[in-house]
Amino acid sequence: QIMQIVGTVSSAIVLGLVLDILHTAYTIGSPTLSAPQATLMKSVADGVFSGNLPWGFVYAGGLIAIVLILIDLRQEKVGSDFRVPVLAVAVGIYLPITLTVPIFIGGMINHFGKSAGGSSASEKRGLLMSSGFITGEALMGILVAVPIFISGQKYWWPQLSGISLLGPILFLAMIFWLYNAVSKK
């Protein structure tokens, strides 16, 4: 119990500092540091409390969910590998395209890795690698925010010509690396 208290207090201190750094550097909720889940919940809460909730969209979403559940039940009944989980579709609808495209690419890597005869151990390795990529991206976002927080200058790093090609090249390299890990037998 003592260690639970230590963990709670230390994480509250660290998370408070990290959120302050991120908000100062990027502004939480801005396009640079969007918060789609929080924005969605805020929109729903504002709509409910103000009485201006667009019920047409709510009903349409409910109808789409019912149709997707029925399709998924049919797919399960016939033993299909292709399923339509309603939660995954809902997340895909409200997340911005900058998040849904990498999720889709990850799903395709998993699909093609299985098609190439990848084992379940390979699939677990791919899941761990993907989790590591996500965690690494989050940690790098915090580390890049620290100099911005300290100096107040958003563009503290040197501007190099041709550096904009590095992102897509590294992204393709990560896709290749992840596919190789997932498709191993």
pLDDT of residue 71: 95
pLDDT score of 35 more than 90: no
Query: What's the average model confidence in pLDDT over 21-39?
Result: 84
Residues forming beta bridges with residue 33, ordered by sequence position: 28
Note the pLDDT of residue 82. 85
Q: Name the least confident of 27-36, 54-63, 122-131, 167-176.
A: 27-36
How does 52-61 read in b/e, with b if 16+ C-beta sit within 10 Å?
Answer: eeeeeeeeee
| The pLDDT value given to residue 93 | 83
What per-residue confidence (pLDDT) applies to 114? Answer: 87
**How many CA atoms, within 13 angstroms, populate the side-chain half-sphere of residue 47?**
12
Instruction: Using the predicted structure, report yes or no on whether residue 171 has a pLDDT greater than 80.
Output: yes
pLDDT of residue 7: 93
Q: Rounded to two decimals, what is the model's pTM?
A: 0.71
**Residue 4 confidence class, pLDDT cut points 50, 70, 90:** very high
- Percent composition of the chain: helix, strand, coil (DSSP 3-state, to 5): 75, 0, 20
Q: Where do the structural domains in the chain lie, given as residue ranges?
A: 1-34, 36-95, 96-185
The first and second tokens of residue 79, run together, are 């033993």
CB 149 within 8 A of CB 24: yes
Q: Where are the beta strands (DSSP E) in 41-145?
A: none
Amino acid residing at 62: G
Would you place residue 131 in the very low, low, confident or very high pLDDT band (cuts 50, 70, 90)? very high
